[in-house]
């Protein structure tokens, strides 16, 4: 079970961006291993040279706290408890 507070920088929400490569996949995998959860769908664009991708992740307690105080953080209700 993840800690109630986000690790390291204390950010409950992170948008991870970068070139669509193994390094980006590692960054997402590391965030998931820390306890973050995927938030929404990934996004991508092309900068003329590389495909650039983005994936939001949230700390579980941030989603739960948002749901409790009436401010849902997840547009997809399946991410919210109960």
What the block records as the tokens of 71 is: 């401010």
Instruction: Look at residue 61 and tell me whether its pLDDT is greater than 60.
Output: yes
Tell me the pLDDT tens digit for each residue of 3-53: 566 676 778 999 999 999 999 999 999 999 999 999 999 999 999 999 999
CB-based contacts of 74, cutoff 8 Å, min separation 6: 39, 58, 63, 66, 67, 80
Q: What is the H or E stretch that residue 25 is in? A: helix 22-34
Q: Do 63 and 51 form a contact (C-beta atoms < 8 A)?
A: no
> For residue 77, what is the DSSP state?
G
Structure pTM? 0.70
In this prediction, residue 78 has a pLDDT band, given cuts at 50, 70 and 90, of very low
């Amino acid at each position: 079970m993840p800690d109630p507070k986000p690790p390291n920088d204390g950010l409950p929400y992170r948008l991870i961006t970068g070139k669509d490569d193994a390094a980006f996949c590692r960054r997402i995998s590391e965030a998931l291993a820390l306890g973050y959860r995927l938030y929404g769908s990934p996004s991508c664009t092309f900068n003329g040279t590389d495909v650039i991708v983005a994936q939001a992740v949230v700390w579980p307690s941030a989603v739960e706290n948002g749901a409790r105080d009436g401010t849902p953080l997840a547009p997809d209700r399946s991410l919210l408890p109960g």
